[in-house]
Amino acid sequence: MSSVPSWSKDLVAAVAFVTAAWQIIGLASVITDQKSLYRLYIRVNFLATVVILAITIAFTVTAAARHDKAVDACYREFEGSLAQDGLGLQSVEESITSGRHKVCDILTWVDVGLMGGLIVLLGVMQLFMCYMQRMYGKRQRNAIGIPMGNRSHLGWDPRPRKQYAPLNTPAAYRPTNVGPTGETFYETYNR
């Protein structure tokens, strides 16, 4: 109802579409595993999120500040005279007029409240998603940077030997823990 400029929805839509198109870059950086492109994606995505939140918050504050103008526009939109015929309907007309004004006042505050609530809800959710994207990138970089540990202290035997060789095989392939009765055990079994 004329409380925000008519071009405001075009500006919000343009920034939202650019931000949505930027998501393709993020998806491509994850698929191709490009760390530097993903870092750029995270930064630009966060910046775009903050910009669109700032724009929408500014328009919501503008709508709240121009409340009286919106009430007047609402009242003009829904006004219609009942006392045209002069049959003594003036008191009814005044009662309806004050009721219309109250309804327009309430509706404009509800409109501003709903806009503000939606912006807060979506803003918190989008900022949380930006945080989770950052954590994903950080954990991926940490996972890639884990070096292979020295396995010599874990009992790993680097000598080549046959898989599943029985314990009663020739001494070259026999492990040190041979059973006392000479039964056939395989290396895959636990005693």
**Alpha carbon 130 to chain centroid, angstroms:** 6
Q: Let me know if residue 2 belongs to a domain.
A: no
Query: Splitting the chain (191 residues) into consecutive groups of 10 residues, what average pLDDT does each group show?
Result: 84 95 94 91 96 95 90 76 53 65 86 94 96 91 66 55 55 53 53 46
Task: Output the pLDDT for position 85.
Answer: 47
Domain residues for the domain of 40 are: 12-83+91-144
pTM: 0.63
Longest CA–CA separation in the chain, Å: 122
Distance CA(17)–CA(53), nearest Å, equals 14
Q: Let me know if residue 168 belongs to a domain.
A: no
Q: Let me know if residue 61 belongs to a domain.
A: yes
Q: Let me know if residue 171 belongs to a domain.
A: no
Task: Output the pLDDT for position 191.
Answer: 46
Q: How many domains in the chain?
A: 1
Q: Let me know if residue 110 belongs to a domain.
A: yes
Task: Output the pLDDT for position 183.
Answer: 57
> Do 67 and 108 touch, CB atoms closer than 8 A?
yes
Task: Output the pLDDT for position 104.
Answer: 85
DSSP string, 96-151: HHHHHHHHHHHHHHHHHHHHHHHHHHHHHHHHHHHHHHHHHHHHHHHHHTPPPPP-
Task: Output the pLDDT for position 71.
Answer: 84
Q: Let me know if residue 73 belongs to a domain.
A: yes
Task: Output the pLDDT for position 169.
Answer: 54
Task: Output the pLDDT for position 105.
Answer: 86
Q: Let me know if residue 182 belongs to a domain.
A: no
Task: Output the pLDDT for position 167.
Answer: 52
Task: Output the pLDDT for position 144.
Answer: 73
Kindly give, in sequence order, each residue whose CB lies less than 8 Å from that of residue 5, ignoring residues fewer than 6 positions away: none
Task: Output the pLDDT for position 7.
Answer: 92
Q: Let me know if residue 18 belongs to a domain.
A: yes
